[in-house]
């Protein structure tokens, strides 16, 4: 009987873990010169064509406004230029952290990997590396899908 309860508990924990880990969020991001109604239609088309029908898959999109074809193209160009100039990668972030902490772990070493893994969340949660909109989007995502 004790074995049965143990197996039952393990199964329950397993189910909980499965339910939490198998949630998939499919995000569509609208392209340039796309109206808000077309964005919905495009997401619907993606969903219909995927033939995936499960409540473990969430179908959403990130809506970014369009300013017209020319302005959107200009915006993409500016964004790409900015990315090349100013983007701080996770490795840049780790290097800055190691320097600040007086550590000299080499990239590829186990210690480096441990530090990288331990500060990855801080990097991802820091809006300044992802532009001004990132913080707002993160909050919206958390509002919609509360993290358990």
Applying CB under 8 A, which residues contact another protein?
A: 23, 28, 35-38, 40-41, 43-45, 47-48, 53-68, 133, 136-137, 140-141, 144
> Distance of CA 91 to CAs 48, 76, 86, Å?
39, 25, 14
Q: Which long-range contacts (CB under 8 A, 24 or more apart) does 81-90 make?
A: 87/129, 88/129, 90/116, 90/120, 90/123
Give the nearest distance from C-beta 83 to another protein in angstroms: 17
- Encoded tokens for 128: 């300044």
Minimum CB distance to another protein smaller for 50 or for 118: 50
Least distance to another protein, CB of residue 137, Å: 6
- 52 versus 117: smaller Cβ distance to another protein: 52
Nearer to another protein, 49 or 84 (CB): 49
The answer to whether the beta carbons of residues 115 and 94 sit under 8 Å apart is yes
Dig out the tokens for 74 from the structure.
Answer: 């200009």
Nearest approach in angstroms of CB 118 to another protein is 29
Q: Phi and psi of 63, rounded to 5°?
A: -95, 125
User: From the CB of 76, what's the least distance to another protein, in Å?
Assistant: 15
Between residues 105 and 141, which has the closer beta carbon with respect to another protein? 141
């Amino acid at each position: 009987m004790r074995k049965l309860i143990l197996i039952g508990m393990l199964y329950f924990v397993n189910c909980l873990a499965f339910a939490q880990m198998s949630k998939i969020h499919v995000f569509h991001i609208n392209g340039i010169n796309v109206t808000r109604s077309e964005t919905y239609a495009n997401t619907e088309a993606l969903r219909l064509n995927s033939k995936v029908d499960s409540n473990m898959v969430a179908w959403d999109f990130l809506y970014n406004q369009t300013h017209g074809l020319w302005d959107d193209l200009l915006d993409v160009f500016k964004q790409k230029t900015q990315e090349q100039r100013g983007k701080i990668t996770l490795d840049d972030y780790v290097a800055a952290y190691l320097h600040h902490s007086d550590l000299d772990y080499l990239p590829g070493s186990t210690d480096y990997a441990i530090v990288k893994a331990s500060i990855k969340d801080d990097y991802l949660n820091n809006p300044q590396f992802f532009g001004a909109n990132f913080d707002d989007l993160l909050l919206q995502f958390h509002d919609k899908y509360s993290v358990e």
